[in-house]
Amino acid sequence: MTKLLVRWLLLAGALLLVAHLYPGVVVKNFTSALIAALVLGLLNTLLRPLLVLLTLPVTVLSLGLFLFVINALMFWAAASVLDGLAVTGFWAALIGSLIYSLCGMVIDVVIERLFPRG
């Protein structure tokens, strides 16, 4: 449970970092970042697998590059549902989702080192 809470807090911080690094993404405050990280996690858990399955032919033809579009759509969808997260357009969502994904990968490595499975 602690591992999940730490990951959630770090992902909220990553959203604030994305907003700091790229002007096309705006996060009002840390509370908004926490809610946005939760919504992004839910969208990626529930909706993303269905979208990946439905767009599998396009994903295969594009050699997997269409997955970036799906990530951007998830980021854009979260921003459209939330008041505390704003994205200026599709390209901002794409760049924001790329930065957020990179931060997420780093966070996953840090979490695995902090909380080993053994």
Q: How many domains is the chain built from?
A: 1
- Cα–Cα dist 97/70, whole Å: 10
pTM for the full model? 0.89
Q: What is the pLDDT of residue 117?
A: 79
pLDDT digits (tens, 9 = 90+) for 15-53: 999 999 999 999 999 999 999 999 999 999 999 999 999
Cβ(66)–Cβ(20) under 8 Å? no
Compute, in degrees rounded to 10, the torsion defined by CA atoms 35, 77, 71, 11. -10
Domain ranges, residue 72? 2-114
Cβ(97)–Cβ(75) under 8 Å? yes
Which helix (H) or strand (E) segment is 24 a member of?
none
- Cα–Cα dist 44/41, whole Å: 5
Compute, in degrees rounded to 10, the torsion defined by CA atoms 21, 41, 37, 114. -80
85 is written with which tokens?
């997260």
Q: Amino acid identity, residue 99?
A: I
pLDDT digits (tens, 9 = 90+) for 76-116: 999 999 999 999 999 999 999 999 999 999 999 999 998 88
